[in-house]
Amino acid sequence: MRAQGRSTTAERLRERVRKGYAAAVAESTCAEIARRIGYTPEQLARIPSGCNFGFGCGNPVALAQLKSGEAVLDLGCGAGADVFLAAGAVGTDGRAVGVDLTPHMLDQARAATRLGEHAPAEFHEAPIEELPFEDASMDAVISNGVINLSPERDRALKEAHRVLRSGGRLVISDLTVEAEIDPAVARTAQLYLGTLLTAADYATRILEAGFRDVAILREIDYGRLILSRSQEFRRAAEEDAVPSDRLQSFFENLRSFELRARK
């Protein structure tokens, strides 16, 4: 019975993520957010129209060191922006794959694929904690602002380890807080950002999943530069009666980071 309860809770959290991100599409200022988190104008020009919803918190493709002919998997790919960039890097002899739980975004990604104007890519609706791929089938696994949202983060990391070939790379962009989250902000933060860890705790989870050579490569003032400008997040905080000074303090302590590790 306990296992069934855990499963039910995880599915409720996944459904909350589906609905929250589908609703947030309308407010996203995509190009502006993408520039602030590290995408270059050249990369943005290669992303199909309608596939950059601005939900990431870094640029994992830039750090994945992808090569022609490799297989790369994006966990929580959304509308496929990073998958299309990865597809351009691995070429027609490679494989670029995305998984996500939001049907609306996957529809956008598949529509762009059907146009045939970009490097081939494939998209699957699946949880990142249960990947529909064989062991040791990928050269690189990337993820952009998604693993914190998983109700079973450790399982997701172990799945990433499973599908990677020996020596394969894991490149993650995600969010972190170095200060304890104010209880007044905790509910809103959990709903929109998932379970936040310190960067050191996050790296420890990756090591425990079996990875090695874990390195944090870049950090961004995500709270100040990105989240503080989200009207959706501010409305939610207001509904939760979060005092403005505590909300501002949270923004100042919220950062995104980019991490690379090897199997």
Across the range 113-126, mean pLDDT stands at: 81
Neighbouring-strand partners of residue 122: 97
CATH number of the 2-262 domain: 3.40.50.150
pTM for the full predicted model: 0.86
Across the range 256-262, mean pLDDT stands at: 96
**pLDDT value at residue 108:** 87
Query: What proportions of the chain, in percent to the nearest 5, are helix, strand and coil?
Result: 50, 20, 30
Across the range 143-152, mean pLDDT stands at: 93
CB-facing half-sphere around the CA of 73: CA atoms within 13 A:
29
Q: Name the token pair of 166.
A: 């020996």
Cβ-Cβ contacts under 8 Å for 47 (sequence gap 6 or more): 81, 84, 85
Residue 158's pLDDT band (boundaries 50, 70, 90)?
very high
Cα separation of 229 and 18, whole Å?
22
Give how far Cα 70 sits from Cα of 17, 65, 188, Å: 30, 10, 39
Cα separation of 7 and 126, whole Å?
15
Statement: residue 30 has pLDDT above 80: no
